[in-house]
Amino acid sequence: MSWKKKVTWDNNDVIRYYHVSAWAFEKLWGPDMHYGYWEKGVKNQRQASRRMNEKLVEKINITKDDYVLDAGCGIGGNAVWLAQTYGCKVVGVSIVAEQIEKAKERAKAAGVDHLCEFLVMDYMNLKFPDETFTVVMGLESICYANPKNEFTKGVYRVLKPGGRFGMADGLASKEAYVGKEKRIMHRWMDGWKLNNLDTPTQWTQYARDAGFNSINYKNITKNVMPSARILFAWSFFSIHWHILDRIFSIDAYPSDALWYQYWAIKKKLAEYGMFWAVK
């Protein structure tokens, strides 16, 4: 991006973040742990999370014959659901070892461990031969890719001809931020240990440069706003930190992101979208 954050994070920072805070999201959010897709008939966040999985699968047309890579699989919520629902084979990768262990346990408990494989691996350095998978997907995990153009090249390499890539994630709405806008974005991203967010236009260019065709993007910000508001409400349990931050400008903290993610989306500094393309 053309704007720089004052703090940068490496994999160890991300691993520590998930070690400390992921249990809370799992308890409250369920195994999928993402914003979810709210529409008529969706009554709670866990239903919204499952609906997001379904909506992305619709875009990339997963069937039982697919071999899927779940890039940034978390505790295996999506991978296990794919195996149960479609009967396809899924490989999930994450840099967080404890997530991988939980994912294995979840697959075994669901009776789909013969269809699911989970590996501790950085999706920026995929250890798979060329043209291994028919689908690569990521649900609110690709935001950690850095740089995202190199991630896209890696996805293209491991996909078979005709293979599909799909993601649902947060994106930047502009390439440069200044003043208060920049502070809002930094406080949000630093709270969740994110290095950068790129725009839909940038993602389209990355996909085109990598060799993808049939490149698509859909802005679904309105469908995640109920979850953004829920996260914002949670931030009030840490209101004392926000007051101290106004006085002393303290370091970013996880609940800081709950506060600023809402304002970033509300002020249209960021958006949420689905992106999919074909090799």
Residue 15 counted as domain residue: yes
Q: pLDDT tens, 109-157?
A: 999 999 999 999 999 999 999 999 999 999 999 999 999 999 999 999 9
3-state secondary structure of 112: coil
pLDDT mean over 237-252: 56
Residue 157 counted as domain residue: yes
Q: Which pairing describes strands 270-278 and 159-172: parallel, antiparallel, or unpaired?
A: antiparallel
Number of domains comprising the chain: 1
80 pLDDT band, cuts 50/70/90, is very high
Residue 107 counted as domain residue: yes
Burial of 243 (0-12, 13-18, 19+ CB in 10 A): exposed
- CB contact at 8 A, 212 and 165: yes
Residue 95 counted as domain residue: yes
Residue 194 counted as domain residue: yes
Find the range with the poorest average confidence among 4-18, 48-62, 185-199, 232-246: 232-246
* Diameter of the chain measured on Cα atoms: 57
2 pLDDT band, cuts 50/70/90, is very low
Beta pairing partners, 218? 274
Based on its alpha-carbon atoms, the radius of gyration of the chain, rounded to whole angstroms, reads 18
Domain that holds residue 199: 11-278
3-state secondary structure of 117: strand
Residue 256 in this model has a pLDDT that exceeds 90: no
16 pLDDT band, cuts 50/70/90, is confident
91 pLDDT band, cuts 50/70/90, is very high
CA of 107: how far to CAs of 27, 79, 118, in Å? Answer: 18, 8, 9
Residue 2 counted as domain residue: no
CA of 61: how far to CAs of 88, 161, 183, 231, 250, in Å? Answer: 12, 15, 39, 31, 46
Q: CA 258 to CA 153: how far, in whole Å?
A: 32
Residue 251 DSSP label: P
Q: Residue 257: which CATH number?
A: 3.40.50.150
- CB contact at 8 A, 144 and 73: no
Highest mean pLDDT: which range of 3-12, 159-168, 257-266: 159-168
Q: CA 210 to CA 165: how far, in whole Å?
A: 12
Residue 111 tokens read as 């009776």
* Cβ neighbours for 158, distance < 8 A, ≥ 6 positions apart: 69, 126, 128, 129, 130, 131, 132, 133, 136
